[in-house]
Chains A and B, each alone.
Chain A
Amino acid sequence: MSWQAVIGLEIHAQLATRSKLFSGASAAYGAEPNTQAAAIDVGLPGTLPVVNDEAVRLAVTLGLAIGARIAPVSVFARKNYFYPDLPKGYQISQYERPVVADGMLAVRLDDDRVIEVRIERAHLEEDAGKSLHDAFSTQTGIDLNRAGVPLLEIVSAPVLHSPAEAVAYLRTMHRLVRWLGICDGNMQEGSFRCDANVSVRRSPQAPLGTRAEIKNVNSFRFVEKAIAYEIERQIRVLESGEAVVQETRLYDAAQDRTRSMRSKESADDYRYFPDPDLPPLAIPPELVASVRASLPELPEARRRRYVEALGLPAQDADQLCADRDTSDYFEAVLAALPGEAKLCANWVLGELAAALNTLGLPIARSPLAPADLALLLRRLREGVISGKQAKDVFAAMIAGEGDADAVIAARGLVQISDEGALLAAIDQVIAAHPAQAAQVRAGQDKVLGFLVGQVMKATGGKANPQRLNALLRTRLDGSGADLPSAS
């Protein structure tokens, strides 16, 4: 008997605003408890919510990036329930008329297959505070700093069929929200969270099974493991002839299992209704147009361009497009060095990535600006320095010794590539070693190395090895009359 898993994800992305969704309190992470909870966030009587325009703009940004419909008018509703970290006794969310509906995200799987994941909706809502259950022995402590922080809840259709697909979708959405700059994507701090709705059925034609909602999965690895566990659990339950219960389950990472959440047992009745404090939110076409105009090139489009137009290997394109900062860095280097995509990619993904890794710095805080790297690569291309020298110069630049030209000059690394200078040295060496020159002319190639070494010695090691090799061969093969004179 083969089972099909059906998975839908609800992603909560914290929007990168300065202030909260409905109050002017700071939305920054990590402050002392309750120091960023204003009277509005605490739900004091007589206070009123006013919506943050940047949160709206960021929601529209995601909507346009996934080709969704932006509702010209959307409605804030109240979701009513009691919980100590929900100060007003209701959460302001969007229910019947979300700001974003019907989008699509293309997700590339590990085997290079691409699935189209339909996004049913994305809506604005405020976050709740934090309950600290373990702070005290008989009481729960409540910190409301997070209460009112803007979230975009992104709801996929139940179209994912394996833990791997679910995680690939999650990673792709994670990359997209960071790419767009609408969410910092920090999963440890809870800026990007995910609930998974999981059910199984006997075949793809069978009606959907009863689903369980898994909460509290805060890393890609745990999402994969939690879903895998839950699929197995449901199959086990069904094969033993029992029924899956519709419930909320919590993933316990330590034990790698999901368990039923007791506090959510009672059937909820959220009594959604339009928030009377907040009239409908109209999103004018001008706002949509201005967001559309400022939308960056999206990661999949960029990846395709890297392969098709720049001729980069797929693996390089994938790595460069893993995040916006890396890709933008590459773009900036390439802009200064047109036509050298592969060279730029090699250095961004190779030397630079390794150096940053050692330094523990993200590329956005690289000590080398793209222009710095581009200058180094230009000198390499010009033959001013050799590939090996370039690595030394790069290391010196990372160590803060100045830009490429400064390091090259300080270390006296400038290669002699100039034909006249090289030919003069070559002619002197040939004149000084006529026997070896004759041997080379007679076809004894291994003697060429001796002559190269002599020229290197004569130039203090600065001769451009490629140019030197070519010139020396020509000199020995031909009459020399074809070459410009050394004068």
Chain B
Amino acid sequence: MSFDADHLRRCARLARLALADDEIAPLEREIARMLDLVGELHHAALDAVEPMAHPLGLTLVPRPDAVTEGDAHEALLALAPETRLGLYLVPKVIE
């Protein structure tokens, strides 16, 4: 399972990260080395093991259905790079 430039481009596309051409070779090498490091996982006997996503066997405690948040749009929109008429703006999306 070797990591190559195609994997890298595909992951960069999924993660929406622009990659400069001269970044590809070194990044590919570094990530491949990190994946070698974690490759130990492939030699471990894991078939019968239940995966663990959270420590300590936690379970959820839900909250009551109550409206506790008021209108904060002025403060929140102020954090945005570009807004108009109370909306966040992005370049036009064509569906």
Contacts and interface: CB of A to CB of B under 8 A. Distances in A.
The reply, when asked whether chain A contacts chain B directly with Cβ atoms under 8 A, is yes
B63 A136 contact: no
Interface string A2-33: 00000000000000011100011110000011
A131 interface: yes
A367 to B, nearest CB: 31
Interface stretch (B1-9, B24-32, B35-43, B84-92): B84-92
Contact of A24 (B14, B68, B79): B68
B92 to A, nearest CB: 5
Interface string B56-68: 0011101111111
The DSSP consensus for interface residues of chain A is: loop
Nearest to A131: B93
A271 B10 CA distance: 13
B45 to A, nearest CB: 23
A281 B65 contact: no
Given A140-B90, A262-B95, A18 B66 contact: yes
B60 A281 contact: yes
A340 B20 CA distance: 81
A135 interface: yes
A19 to B, nearest CB: 5
B85 A133 contact: no
A84 B89 CA distance: 9
Interface centre among A42, A269, A274, A281 (most CB of B within 10 A): A42
A140 B92 contact: yes
B66 A24 contact: yes
B69 interface: yes
A23 B69 contact: yes
A406 interface: no
A167 interface: no
Nearest to A76: B60
A268 to B, nearest CB: 9
Contact of A142 (B54, B66, B89, B94): B89
Interface in A241-266: 250, 261-263
Contacts of B90: 84, 139-140, 142
A39 B63 contact: no
A282 B60 contact: yes
A269 B62 contact: no
A32 B86 contact: yes
Given A39-B72, A263-B94, A271-B14, A84 B88 contact: yes
A154 B77 CA distance: 34
Contact of B59 (A33, A140, A282): A282
A265 to B, nearest CB: 11
A37 B76 contact: yes
B62 A53 contact: yes
Contacts, number: 134
Contacts of B88: 34, 84, 141-142, 144
A56 B89 CA distance: 34
Interface string A26-69: 10000011111111101010000011111110000000000000
Nearest to B80: A42
Nearest to B10: A269
A278 to B, nearest CB: 6
B53 A26 contact: no
A114 interface: no
A400 interface: no
Contact of A34 (B67, B68, B76): B76
B50 interface: no
B81 to A, nearest CB: 12
A73 interface: yes
B76 to A, nearest CB: 5
A39 B73 CA distance: 9
A180 B59 CA distance: 28
A53 B53 contact: no
A261 B62 contact: no
Nearest to B87: A141
A240 interface: no
A174 to B, nearest CB: 23
18 contacts: A19-B69, A24-B68, A26-B69, A33-B73, A34-B73, A35-B73, A50-B63, A53-B63, A53-B64, A54-B65, A82-B16, A131-B93, A135-B87, A139-B91, A139-B92, A141-B85, A141-B87, A282-B59
Given A26-B69, A39-B76, 20 more contacts: A25-B67, A33-B85, A33-B87, A34-B86, A34-B88, A35-B71, A51-B63, A52-B62, A55-B65, A75-B53, A84-B88, A133-B92, A136-B92, A137-B92, A141-B84, A142-B87, A143-B87, A280-B58, A281-B59, A281-B62
Interface of B: 14, 16, 53-54, 58-60, 62-69, 71-73, 76-77, 79, 84-95
Ranked 4 nearest A-B pairs via Cβ = A24-B68, A141-B87, A54-B65, A53-B62
